[in-house]
Chains A and B, each alone.
Chain A
Amino acid sequence: MTDRQHLDEEALAELQDVMEDEFDVLIQTYIVDSRDRIASLKTALAASDADAFAKTAHSLKGSCINIGAPRLGELCLEAEEAGKAQDLGEASRLVAAIEQEFAAVTGLLEGFLVR
C-alpha cells in the first residue's frame, strides 16, 4: 500500500530540538488530538457525512505530516480524497487502516518519550 515509514525520526529529532521542554506536551497533545479526530471520522462515517469526513481527514493529515508520521499522513490524504469523492465504502476501509497505523505510531511515539 505505502512504503513510507511509520515515523520520520529525523523530523522528530528536529521537533525535539525546537520544542525543548515542550516536546512531551506536544506528543501528548498530538495523541489526544488525533484520537478525537479518528472518533470524529467514525461519527461522520456513521452519519454518512462525506464532507465532514473529508475536512476532518484533512486536519488530521496536517498534524500527522507536521509531527513526522508520513504513512499516517498518506492514509489521511487518501481518506480526504475518498470523502471528497463521496466514496463511503473506501472511506470506511481507510478508517480501519488509519486506526491501525495510528496504534503503531502511538506505540512508537511513546517509546520516543521514554528514551
Chain B
Amino acid sequence: MTQHSLRILIADDSDTDRLILQALIKRLGHEVIEATDGLEAVEKFREGSPDIVLLDALMPRMDGMEAARHIKALAGERLVPIIFLTSLSDAEDLARCLEAGGDDFLTKPYSRVIIEAKIKAFDRMRRMHDTLSSQHEEISERNRQLLEEQTIARRVFDNVAHTGCLDSPNIRYHASPLSVFNGDVLFASPRPAGGMLIFLGDFTGHGLPAAIGAMPVAEIFYGMARKGFSGADVLREINQKLKLILPTGMFCCGAMVEADFKLGQLRVWNGGLPEAWVLRGDGEQLLLPSRHLPLGILPPEQFESVMETVHVQPGDRLLVMTDGVLEAANGRGELFGLAGIRRCLEQVEPAGHPFDVVLEGVRAFSDKAAESDDLTLVALDITDQPAVPDVSGQSLPSALAGPTEWRCEYEIRERTLGDFSPLPLLLHICLEVPGLRTRGGEIYTLLSELYNNALEHGVLQLPSEWKRSAEGFGRYYSERQARLARVEGHYIRFSLHHTRKPGGGRLRVVCEDSGAGFDFRNHPLVSGETGEGIGPRYAGRGLLLLKRLSKNITFRGKGNHVEIVYDWNFSAHQGDGDDR
C-alpha cells in the first residue's frame, strides 16, 4: 500500500536531533516543517496547518507542553496528533505531556521502524476522525433539513386541514401539537342543513407517510361535508381514496360522527378506534365499539358505510378517542385501558366535564410530559339549540360561489351526429355547479338517455323492438351505421338551464330533435299506465330511469321535444341510491 504524503511539523531545539528526525521522516516520503522552539512551533502550525506534530518536551522560550495546548486549541475540531519527542524517563513528566494534549511519545534514540509505525497509526486515526466528523456534519445538516421540512409540511397541512368548527362551544378536544406526524387527524365541519360532521382518524405509522395520507382525508372531509354529503358518503370516498393511495399494511382507523341536533340524533361509524362513549345526562353510559375494518383496507364494493343511529337529547355527551388513550402506560408498564376511563368517569363531579377528567386522568396515570403524548380525545356536547359556528370564509359552501344561474344551448348537426358525442361536454358544463359535482352519475344518465333516444329513435327512426332478438340486434346496429350516413338537415339540440333554489338548485334540460317524434299521448308509460311499454320509442327501461331520476318529465310537440326538471339539495342523502 502506498502511503500518501503528510505534512509533519518537527519542533526540537537540538539541531542534531532535528537533523536526524527530519531525515528519517523525509525518507518516509513526508513533507517536513521545522521549528526550533515552542513559540515557533505554534507559529508554523498556524501557517502550515500540518497533519501531525512532533514536539520536544523541553525547549527554550516555550516548552512542548505549552505549545501542545496552543496547537490543540488552534486545531479545534480537527484531530492533529501530537507526539512528544523525549528522553524523559520520569513517569510524572510523561504524564504531564499527555495532560497537555500529547497523544504519544517517541523516545530517543529514534528508531526508523517505530517512527514509521507511529506515523501510520496516527494517520489512520486522523483520517477516521475526519470521516466521522464529516459524517456527523452531514447527519446534523440532514436532521436540520428534516425538521425544517416537517415545519413546512405542518404549515401546508394546517392550511388544508384547518380546525373547521372544532372551536365550537360544544366541542372539546385534545390533540398533540405535532399530531399529524404521529398519525392522528381530527376534523369537524358544520353541515349546510344544520348539525355537524366530525371525523377522528389514526393512521398506522408515524412521520411523513402518515401526514401524507392525512392530506387527502382532510380535503375530502371538508370538501364533501360543506356540500352536504352524509357521513356515510364521506367515509366511502375516504376509504376509496386511501385504498388507492396507501401502500399495503398502511391504513387509517377512524370514527365518523354525524350530529343532528334538531332531530336529537347521532349517527356514528367506528372502524378500528376504541369504543366511543355516549354519556347520558342521567348517568347512563352507552359504548359504541368498532364494527368495521379501518379505512383504506376494503375495496369500494365491499366497504360498509352504514352508520349506527343513537337518539340523544340535550345534556348527553359523546366521547371519541384514539388508542393512545387506552395504551397510555405507567412506569410499571400497565395500560390505562377501558378500566382507566371507567375510573375517571366515576369521578366526574356534577359540574365537571368527562373530557377534562379523562384527559387529566390519563396524564396523571402515564405521568408523561403533555407535549410528548400520542393521543387524541374529542368530546361533543348535545345542545338543544343547533350550534352555528362561525365558519365564514373558511368552509362556506362553495356551491354559492360557483355558477348557479345560467343557460346554454348546444346543437349538433348532420355529419357530426355520427362522429361526436356531446355528452362529456354537456356533463362538464353541468358539473361546474359545485352542488351537481357530486351527482355526476345521475346527470350523465339523464343526458345520455335523452341523447340516445333523440339520436337513435328520433333522428334515425330505429325501432327499439329490433333489439329484442339477437338477429334484430345485429340488424339494428348495421342499420344505425347506414342511417348515420344520411342525416342531412337533421339536428339534436340541448338547452340547459340552471337556477338556484333555497338549499340547492334546479337543472332544466330540454332535448329536441329533428325526427318525426312519437305518439307520446298513447304511450303506456308516459300516459301513466303501468305495464311493459313496447312503444316505437322509449323502451320501458330508459323512460323509467328518466322518471325516477328527475322531478318532472314533459313531452311536447310531436314527441320530439322532451323537458326534464332535476332538483338537488345540499342536505339530500346521497347514500340512498348506491348505483353511482
Contact = CB atoms under 8 A, between A and B. Distances in A.
Contact of B112 (A18, A30, A67): A18
Given A19-B23, A63-B17, A55 B108 contact: no
Contact of A15 (B13, B20, B108): B20
Interface in A5-52: 11, 14-15, 18-20, 22, 25-26, 29-30, 33-34
Nearest to A26: B19
Given A11-B109, A18-B112, A29-B15, A62 B20 contact: no
Given A14-B112, A66-B110, A33 B87 contact: no
Nearest to A25: B19
Given A33-B14, A58-B87, A26 B112 contact: no
A55 B15 CA distance: 16
Interface residues of B, number: 18
A93 B112 CA distance: 36
Given A15-B20, A58-B87, A65 B109 contact: yes
Interface residues of A, number: 23
A59 interface: yes
Given A19-B23, A55-B58, A30 B108 contact: no
A83 interface: no
A59 B58 CA distance: 8
Contacts of B87: 58, 61-62, 65
A66 B27 contact: no
A12 B19 CA distance: 14
A34 B16 CA distance: 9
Given A66-B109, A68-B109, A30 B16 contact: yes
B24 interface: yes
Contacts of A18: 20, 23-24, 27, 112
Contact of B17 (A14, A25, A55, A62): A62
Contacts of B15: 29, 33
Contact of B14 (A15, A19, A25, A62): A62
A83 B16 CA distance: 23
Interface in B24-42: 24, 27
20 contacts: A11-B109, A14-B112, A18-B20, A18-B23, A18-B112, A19-B19, A19-B23, A25-B19, A26-B23, A29-B19, A33-B14, A34-B16, A55-B58, A62-B56, A62-B86, A63-B16, A63-B17, A66-B108, A66-B109, A67-B20
Interface of A: 11, 14-15, 18-20, 22, 25-26, 29-30, 33-34, 55, 58-59, 61-63, 65-68
Given A29-B16, A62-B108, 16 more contacts: A14-B112, A18-B23, A19-B19, A22-B19, A26-B16, A26-B23, A30-B16, A59-B14, A62-B17, A65-B108, A65-B109, A66-B20, A66-B108, A67-B16, A67-B20, A68-B109
